[in-house]
Structure 1
Amino acid sequence: MMKKTLRSRQARGQSMVEAAIGVTLFVTVVAFGIHFAEVGFLSLKVQEAAISALWDGTHGEMHLLPLDYDPAGDSMRDAANDAQARYADFNGLSATAGAGITQALTTGNGMTVSCDMGAGVEWGGATATRVVYRDNGGTACRAQASLNAWRFPRSFLDQGEEGLYQKRNMEDGLASLQVCAVGRPVGGRCAGSYSMLIDDWGLAGEVESVTCNILMQDQLIPCTNAPLHATVFTTYTPTVMPIPGAASMLAERALFMNPLPLTALAMVGLGMKEKTMWLSAAGEESLFTQFPLLRDPIGMGRWTTTPGSLLSGITTMPYGLGYMRREGCFLGKDCD
């Protein structure tokens, strides 16, 4: 009986020692698990900051047609500065400037976001359009931040030769990490980035969206929306000049007649028929009909614009009839 009791006590003592040693190892594993989970979460926030800047920049001004494409760079830099301020606390929603973040065993700080132009994402479009539509090379956004172990046990039961463990939990040189949105840092700098084409070359902004009321065709300022006219005219001109008669033939095929008046047809020998580009953009408020403020050389007193009006000519009559039958639904407007 005595021997059986002694063996039982020895077994319990061994179990206690094994449990004590196992708990010390378990504490280390749990600490590292928490720290690595926080590093993973904050690393995703660095990636999120770069992507946020990339997409937010697309809503900014991209150009001033027909010549200035510098605003795209300003819009992307503004988006990067905004993302850097919003993600300073690794949140993106609270925008606590310069605060950083402190979690259970990890801190994050030094969030930096930047966006550059000419990232090598190129698309120049058709050759005939390159006089106005410029390839800006796309944009690239990157982000980086510092993550540091905080209150992490650097050592555990390792004091002296009699210590249970002979290695430190974490060396000081590994307690700080430089994290990139893409890839790994080289020389302390994150070179990886997210790249994207930006600027759809569409008319945008207050200057480029006004009605193009005809003033006088083939003049320096032919209509009240100079960017609209310039972009269309510079595309139209190199296209029709090498192919004599292309413009009038296209109009005649679409309308089954030449839309220009007899005064223009009489100037065929002078090239007026092909060189004159009638462009306008009138809204519903004008019933799609414009009355040029200045008389054009071909003597047209009014000009019907697409989708047209029943008040002018027969060349756009189908559009005008469609407009009259719209019943409140027209050009994307809500139905009654």
Structure 2
Amino acid sequence: MRLERFLLCAACVCLINPPAWSSVSVSPVLAQARNEEQTSIDVYRIASPTVVTISTGRGSGSGSIVSAEGLILTNEHVIRGTRGGRVSVSTSSGKRYTGQVIAADRRNDLALVRLNTTERFPTVRLSAPQNIQVGQRVFAIGSPFGLSGTLTTGILSRVSPNGDLQTDAALNPGNSGGPLLNSRGELIGVNKAILSPGGRGNTGIGFATSVVIARDFIEQNRNRSNPSTTAVAPSSSTPRLGVTLDARTLVILGVQPRSLAASLGLRPGDQLLAINGRRLRRLQDLQAFLDASPSSAILTIGRNRRLANVRVNF
């Protein structure tokens, strides 16, 4: 009984005056977890106001504001098939704007949209190329399945020979066009695709176009007002071709309903390559041919990395 009292009293003394060796310390693992958590919070706070949701009427995707005047970087496949290159854009604050596609690059799956407003916007910072390293933590923000402002995390798993970035950060439909960010909240890539063999869903492997390519694309096209134009035959007796084109690449951005192009099965994403075997290097080449009022022609188009010849009777 005396022993029990002694032990109880000793315990009380320790509670009142705990020895130095009993002081609480934070484990390195817990400290690292807290640091990683804070990094995620900081990245989201910095970058999320610059991420938008883009709606085309046929679907939606994401984008990043890259200039204070409302220039948005996204994927070409996000804006493919829009009517006249017009889209609806929602910001993180919930405000909606009308945007106009001003440039598209199907090869690298990039597009630029300009908002029709005089307002000023927060912008995402573009990472320097040397800050892209396999193994670094990465963050994706976008609108998967329409859930705007969704953050996912992972690592940069691989840099492909063509420069594409591979990541295990969760990407889903709607993330397309949104930013892949580093731990400083800087854009290192534009999310564009996932590996899904046989359409069996997300395998945990996603891809983004590198900021190295995106930066050049922005600089080459940021001053354009609207490079798209509708190619039409010159006289009222000649039926319209009825397509909206990117003036630089001759990629079809839109097809008018019940037009000649629609009857031929042309569709957004097709690229006009040649007429009667003569290569189309620029929009003026196409316009010059149409100005000659041809009765028919063989149009060569590129579709899904394949060539097809289509006979056109004007």
- More helix, by proportion: 1
Flag the structure with more relative contact order, 1 or 2, with Cα contacts below 8 A and sequence separation at least 6. 2
- More strand, by proportion: 2
Which protein has the larger Cα radius of gyration, Structure 1 or Structure 2? 1
Query: How high is the TM-score relative to the length of structure 1?
Result: 0.26
Query: How high is the TM-score relative to the length of structure 2?
Result: 0.27
